[in-house]
Structures are given as C-alpha cells and as structure tokens.
Chain A
Amino acid sequence: MSDFKIAQRETNNVNVLELKGYLDAHTAPKLEEAFQQLLKSDRTRIVVNCRDLSYISSAGLGVFMAFIEDVREKSGDIKLTNMSTKVYNVFDLLGFPLLYEIFKDESEAVKKFNDKK
C-alpha cells in the first residue's frame, strides 16, 4: 500500500510539516488531520517541506486548497518548499504557483514569514 508520513517540527516560530512518500486519496486524510490540528491551536505559519514527497495526486492538492483560506484568515499562510521536479509539475499543471508561494528551500520560506514582521 502507498506509504505516507508527516513529521512536524517548529523552527523560528514557523510550523514545518515534512511530507514523505505518496500523498493521494488514500493518504490525504492524514494531511487533513495535520492541518486541522495546526489550525485548531492557531498555529497558522505553516511551511510544507516536500523534499521526500514522491507523488502528489489531485486529492492531495485539494487538501491544501481546503485549508488555505482558513489559514490566511488567521493571518497565516501555507508555503511550499523543496519540491522535486515531478511534484512541482503537478502543482504547476493545476495552476498552484499562482495561489501559493513556492520556495526552493525551506529556509527561504521560514525567512519570508519572519521578514514580514
């Protein structure tokens, strides 16, 4: 079965989710839960590090869509980083770069959060 893991850590007041493996319809609820937890505790400065994400399906992208408004309403954001070309192509194909900030490296995204202050 497809394997998917989320590791969560905090760095410079930013919550980093590290995604690993396959994010598809089967595993999407895991990411949903992770976002729900963050949102519930008002931790809305979120960076999603995709370095070890090997695949993302539309359902996976849908999870980002489902939460982005709520997160931004709480003056936070979801920024994406470290995508492989394959994963980036899917984001690009579905027009995500227009809606989300995507960075080459996690540190840039974290910096962006802290620059804003």
Chain B
Amino acid sequence: MAPARTQSARPAPDSYESHFEHTALFEFSTVINSSLDPQFIFSHILLTIMGKMLATKGLAAIEKASHEFSVEMVKGFPREFVGQMVHVRKLPRSMMDVRKMNSTRYPCAKFFKKIGVRMVLPMFIADKPIGFLAFGERFSKKKLQTREITYLRSLANISATAIEKSRTVEQVQHINRKLDRKIQELNTLFDLSKEYGSLLDAEKLIRLLVFSLLGQIGVNRYIICLRQGSDVRIAASKIDGALPQAELLKTLFKLKTTSLVENLSMPVVQNARDVLVDLKMALVVPMSLQGENKGLMILGEKLSNQPFVETEFEFLSSLANLAIISLENARLFKEAIEKQRMEDELMIAREIQKGLLPNVLPTLKGIDIAATNISSKQVGGDYYDVIPAGAHRYVLAIGDVSGKGTPAALLMASIQASIRALVPLNLSLSELTGRVNDLMCENTGGSKFVTFFWGFVDTEAMTLNYVNAGHNYPYLIHADGSIRRLDKGGMILGIMKTSTPYEEETVQLRAGDLLFLFTDGVSEAMSRESVEYGEERIEALLKSDGGSSAQDIVDLFHKDILRHAGGAQQSDDITMMVIKRE
C-alpha cells in the first residue's frame, strides 16, 4: 500500500494536469448536459474549445441528412454561415488539420480552406456522425500536442452526446405536439359528434361546425354550401367580397377529395377556381354522404399563414362527413315531422267530414235514394246531405268547397249548420240560398267558395224544387231516356253578397225518373294516362241503366270510376247521389 500512498502524496506534474483536465471535463459535461437548448450547448462547446485552443474562430455544424451538415453556430466566422448546408462526403475520425486533408479523400477540404478553417473536430457517437466543429488558426500558431488533441476529442465526444440528447428531446417534443394536435382533432370530432347526436336544428348544426372549424384550424373566412335537390344553397359564410354564384359553386361538387384551391386543375372548375383565388380561399372540402357530394366547406387561409397539411385534410374530411350526416338526419327528421303533422291534420279533416255526412239516409216514400263519398287522400271539401223538412218534404244537398283538408272540412261544417238553421224559416229556396251565400261571404270574406246544388223534394206532389249555385249540372233522366240538366240558379256561394236573387225551378218527378247528383271528383276522375272520366261516360252509363235500384247505380258508377282510374290516386273527393222515383 505504501508506494501508492507515496504516489498520491506527491503527484507527478503529469497527474496534476490530468487531474485538472478531468475536473474540467466533468464541469464541461455538467454544464452542457444541464441544458436542452441547442444554442446554449453550441455556444458553450465553441467557447470552451476556442479557449482551450486559443483559436479566434469556431463553427459548429450538425448532420441533418446523410453527408449534409447544417451550420448551427459561428464565433468569429461571418454570421451568414449560420443555416448554410455543407456537403461533407467523409468526416475524419479524429481531429484533423485541414492542410493535411487529401482533397480526393476529403473533397470538403477545399471549402474549409477557402473559409479559413484550420482544424476540423468531428463529433461521433459510436460510429454515427453527429456533426463537426471547425476552428480557425490558433492564436499562438503552435501545433497541438497529442495530449491536447485527446482532451479536445473528449470534449467533442461529450458534446456529441449532449447534442444528440437535445435533438432527441426536441424530436420527442415535436412528435408529442403532433400527437397533442391529433388528440385535439379527435376531441373536436368527439365533442361535435356527441353534440350532433342530440341536435336536429340545421342552423345550429352549421354554427357548431363553423365554430369547430375556426377553433381547430384557425381560419376566419369560409363558405359552407349545401346541395338542395339540384340547387346549391349557401348555409354560412364569412368572406371579403361578394358571394360566388350558386352555379359556379355547383361545379365544385364534382370534386371527390379535399383539394387546395391552387391545385384545382379540372377544366370544369376553372371559373370557380378564379373566383375562389380572388376571395383568397385556400381549400375545398367535399361533404360526402355515401359517396355522394352533398355539400362543400370552402376555407380561407389560416390566420397563422401556415399552409394546410395533409393530416389536416383527414380531420377536415371527417368533420365534413360527420356534419353532413347530421344535417341530412335533421332534414329527414324535419320532413318526417312535417309529414306526420299533415297526416294528423288530414285525419282531423277526415273525421270532420265523416261526422258531417249522413250515416243513414232517411227513407222517402216512393223514392229510392242512395249516396256515397270516397274521400281523397288530401280530403277534398265534398258534402252531401238529405234532411227531413216537414211532413213530406226533404232537403237534398250536394256541394264542393274550394280547397282541401281541415279548412275545407270546417267550411263545409259551417254551411251544413247554416242550412239546417235556415230551412225551418219557411222562406223560398231562392231566398234561403241568398242567405246562405251572405252568411258565407261574411264568414270567409270572399276567400273561399262552394259550388252548391240543393232543393226540396216533395214526396206527395212528387216535385223537386231546386237552386243550382254553380254546381256541376245534375242529370234528370226520364223513363223514356231523355235527359235534362238542372242548371237554374246563380253564382257559386261565397264570392260576393247576393245582389240578384237566385233563380229556382221546380221539376216533376215521374215514375222511373232518375236524378244523378255528383261532384267534379266524378267527372274529373283521372286515369293513369291523365284522361278524365268525363260527362259523356256519365251519360252513357246513365242511359244503360235498366230497372236497378239507386244503390245499384251508385255501385255501378263506383266500379266504373275505379276501372277508369286503374289505380291512379285521385286528387279530389268523389261524391254522388242517386234519386229514383219508383
């Protein structure tokens, strides 16, 4: 043990230096490893080595790609060197004097000489080049000793690890940031889909879409347009200038993928492209649903002036598709609600109509009577009635209210109420009709009208006293086959107050006489080929009748109309009434 003690007690001058160097290396290592800032690291490396070497110029470069080195920092060299790329085909393994570099082995030597580099100190980790340090002439012009070179190499090695560490951390931070952005994008989609799940208001959907776009992408100019049938509607926009024509936007629906405006090359979109360029728009994102383009999000430049990147395209596409599904759902939902509302309303109209029409017709002495009403889908305003009005008198009525659905049904109800109230007044049919017309004009203000035929049947006198207020002329077919149309009366009800009294007529009902009352739903019943049933066909069928009952005749017409329609849906009610003197 003793010799060792002696050695440590009186170290050789060499050991002094060695101890000093170790301490310096340790300190150097501590300092440059304490920071992750590459600028700080480069600066410290250069200053330390320049101090050690007594060099006035130093330069640090790191490898960016294979054989390509970028100058990161200079001390004493012109500042313009920073950021320059240096191609170095081969890096010396150790510190090397540029003058000793063989220019065939080291083609970079020429460049180094030109800029005044004297020594090149490579930085390796294992065999992997990290970068190099380069220095100008030593102030002392003295040749470096082996010991000094070894020391400098140690510094370079420590530097290499520190630089590599800082670069790795930088890369991790960069990747982390990219990941964070990705997570943020996913959060945005998640946030929106959660909200969209419970949202059926198209306007609100669009607004949230816009907010997400503005927030996530950082744009402030946009046009969102949606296809509506063959049209294009702008649902939201914020741009500097006039909105592009819908026709122009329509051409952009040909795009299948997210495209930068500057890359729009299809000839058909060139006009649209020019307009978008003028508006400083940058990107077009199709909103597609099941492969069909239903809308477009057109975005302006980002406020950060950063270009759009490929990964954002994916996000924007997902956002667009998510939005269009919800918008489509909202549209379908609205349609369904609307349809349901109409169905409900029609149901009410049908109920009113059913309640108005007589369930069972009264039996008239010596007269056979039958009637039917086939309500159309939309419920027209047809009405018929047979009301007892005294010992052997009955009111017959048939009418057709303008319009359809509940409003028509309600008007029909008010007419029925007024005739039932007025009939007992013992007025002439002409006067009664005038009163009904006046009441109706007061109620509707002339906005609705009714074609109306009515009359009194007297089963003792066997007469029909009638007024025809603009209704399809009923047929009176005599037993001998001759036909009369009952056309006396006046204006349709509801247009204007009665000024000229309604004309009335009384006709005799002889044995075998037949009265056929109908609404235009009969004469205008449509076939699949859009051919009307027509009055000729009514007449022909009436003439063909033999001794069948009123109900038989109604049924006969019903069947014949159905045959004519051939399954075509009828837009109007079909109503008829047959009165036959036995």
User: Is residue B194 within 8 Å, beta carbon to beta carbon, of the partner chain?
Assistant: yes
Within 8 A of B (CB), among A93-112: 93-96, 98-99
Cα–Cα distance between A65 and B217 once the two chains are bound (Å): 10
- B265 to chain A minimum Cβ distance, whole angstroms, is 30
User: Is residue A18 within 8 Å, beta carbon to beta carbon, of the partner chain?
Assistant: no
Query: In the bound complex, do residue A57 and residue B215 qualify as a contact, i.e. CB atoms below 8 Å apart?
Result: yes
Residues in B neighbouring A57, C-beta threshold 8 A: 187-188, 191, 212, 215
Residues in A neighbouring B184, C-beta threshold 8 A: 58, 90, 93-94
Query: In the bound complex, do residue A98 and residue B187 qualify as a contact, i.e. CB atoms below 8 Å apart?
Result: no
Q: Which of B181, B195, B212 contacts A62 (CB 8 A)?
A: B212
Query: In the bound complex, do residue B194 and residue A26 qualify as a contact, i.e. CB atoms below 8 Å apart?
Result: yes
Residues in B neighbouring A59, C-beta threshold 8 A: 188, 191-192, 195, 208, 211-212, 215
Residues in B neighbouring A95, C-beta threshold 8 A: 218, 303-304, 306
Cα–Cα distance between A64 and B210 once the two chains are bound (Å): 12
Question: Considering only CB atoms and an 8 Å cut-off, how many residues of chain B contact the other chain?
Answer: 26
Query: In the bound complex, do residue A25 and residue B210 qualify as a contact, i.e. CB atoms below 8 Å apart?
Result: no
Residues in B neighbouring A96, C-beta threshold 8 A: 218
Query: In the bound complex, do residue A58 and residue B304 qualify as a contact, i.e. CB atoms below 8 Å apart?
Result: no
Given contacts A66-B214, A69-B220, A94-B215, contact A58 B180 (CB under 8 A): no
Cβ proximity bits B203-217 to A, threshold 8 Å, 1 near / 0 not: 010011011111110
Query: In the bound complex, do residue A98 and residue B195 qualify as a contact, i.e. CB atoms below 8 Å apart?
Result: no
Residues in B neighbouring A63, C-beta threshold 8 A: 211, 215
Given contacts A25-B194, A57-B188, A62-B210, contact A99 B215 (CB under 8 A): no
Main secondary structure of the interface of B (DSSP, over half): helix
User: Is residue B52 within 8 Å, beta carbon to beta carbon, of the partner chain?
Assistant: no
Residues in B neighbouring A66, C-beta threshold 8 A: 210-211, 214
User: Is residue B177 within 8 Å, beta carbon to beta carbon, of the partner chain?
Assistant: yes
User: Is residue A39 within 8 Å, beta carbon to beta carbon, of the partner chain?
Assistant: no
Within 8 A of A (CB), among B137-189: 177, 180-181, 184, 187-188
A24, A57, A96, A98 interface centre (most CB from chain B within 10 Å): A57
User: Is residue A89 within 8 Å, beta carbon to beta carbon, of the partner chain?
Assistant: yes
Residues in A neighbouring B207, C-beta threshold 8 A: 29, 32
Within 8 A of B (CB), among A34-92: 57-66, 69, 89-90
Cβ proximity bits B291-322 to A, threshold 8 Å, 1 near / 0 not: 00000000000011010000000000000000
Query: In the bound complex, do residue B216 and residue A61 qualify as a contact, i.e. CB atoms below 8 Å apart?
Result: yes
Query: In the bound complex, do residue B212 and residue A25 qualify as a contact, i.e. CB atoms below 8 Å apart?
Result: yes
Cα–Cα distance between A65 and B212 once the two chains are bound (Å): 10
- B282 to chain A minimum Cβ distance, whole angstroms, is 16
User: Is residue A16 within 8 Å, beta carbon to beta carbon, of the partner chain?
Assistant: no
| Minimal Cβ-Cβ distance residue in B for A98 | B304
Residues in A neighbouring B220, C-beta threshold 8 A: 65, 69
Query: In the bound complex, do residue A24 and residue B210 qualify as a contact, i.e. CB atoms below 8 Å apart?
Result: no
Given contacts A58-B184, A60-B215, A94-B216, contact A25 B177 (CB under 8 A): no
B180, B215, B218 interface centre (most CB from chain A within 10 Å): B215
Q: Which of B180, B195, B303, B304 contacts A25 (CB 8 A)?
A: B195
Cα–Cα distance between A57 and B216 once the two chains are bound (Å): 9
- B251 to chain A minimum Cβ distance, whole angstroms, is 29
Cα–Cα distance between A63 and B211 once the two chains are bound (Å): 6
User: Is residue A28 within 8 Å, beta carbon to beta carbon, of the partner chain?
Assistant: yes
Mind listing 24 A-B residue pairs with CB under 8 Å?
A25-B194, A25-B208, A26-B194, A29-B207, A57-B187, A58-B188, A58-B212, A58-B215, A59-B188, A59-B191, A59-B215, A61-B216, A62-B210, A62-B213, A62-B216, A65-B211, A65-B214, A65-B303, A66-B210, A93-B181, A93-B184, A95-B218, A96-B218, A98-B304
Interface residues of A (CB under 8 A from B): 24-26, 28-29, 32, 57-66, 69, 89-90, 93-96, 98-99
